[in-house]
C-alpha cells in the first residue's frame, strides 16, 4: 500500500514545477499554506459528515480526499509519507496514554 503513497508523493513533488493553470495541486501550492490548510479543514469536515451518514463508500471517498490534501501539505513542507509512517512505527506498541506522556517531556 505504501507504494501508492510513494507514487503520489513523487507526483506531488513534480506538480511543484507545473504552472497553476495546468494543475490543481500546483494551484494550491501557488495560493500558499493557508489555502492548503483550508482544503484540509474542508475535507476533514466532509469526512466527519460522511461518517455520520454511515455510507461506507462516501466515507472512503472523503477520507481519500482528506489523505490526498494532507499529502499536499506534507509535500509543501518538504515532508513525505515516510515521515508519517516512521512516526506511526515509533508509536507502535505504545498505549495512547504512554505516547502522549512522552510528547510532554
Radius of gyration for the alpha carbons in the chain, expressed in angstroms and rounded = 16
Q: What span, in angstroms and rounded, lies between the C-alpha atoms of 100 and 96?
A: 6
What is the CATH number for 60?
1.10.287.1080
C-alpha to C-alpha distance for 25 and 18, rounded to whole angstroms? 9
* pTM summary value: 0.88
Q: Please tell me the predicted confidence (pLDDT) of residue 17.
A: 94
Question: Alpha helices, DSSP H only, in 16-104?
Answer: 24-31, 33-53, 56-76, 81-91, 96-103
| Tally of domains in the chain | 1
Domain assignment of residue 35, given as a range = 3-103
User: Residue holding cell 506498541?
Assistant: 93
pLDDT tens profile 18-69:
999 999 999 999 999 999 999 999 999 999 999 999 999 999 999 999 999 9
Amino acid at each position: 500500500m505504501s507504494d501508492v503513497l510513494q507514487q503520489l508523493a513523487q507526483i506531488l513533488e513534480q506538480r511543484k514545477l507545473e504552472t497553476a493553470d495546468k494543475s490543481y495541486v500546483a494551484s494550491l501550492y501557488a495560493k500558499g499554506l493557508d489555502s492548503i490548510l483550508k482544503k484540509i479543514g474542508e475535507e476533514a469536515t466532509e469526512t466527519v459528515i460522511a461518517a455520520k451518514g454511515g455510507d461506507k463508500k462516501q466515507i472512503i471517498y472523503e477520507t481519500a480526499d482528506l489523505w490526498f490534501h494532507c499529502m499536499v501539505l506534507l509535500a509543501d513542507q518538504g515532508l513525505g509519507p515516510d515521515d508519517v509512517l516512521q512516526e506511526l512505527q515509533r508509536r507502535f506498541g505504545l498505549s495512547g496514554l504512554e505516547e502522549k506522556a512522552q510528547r510532554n517531556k
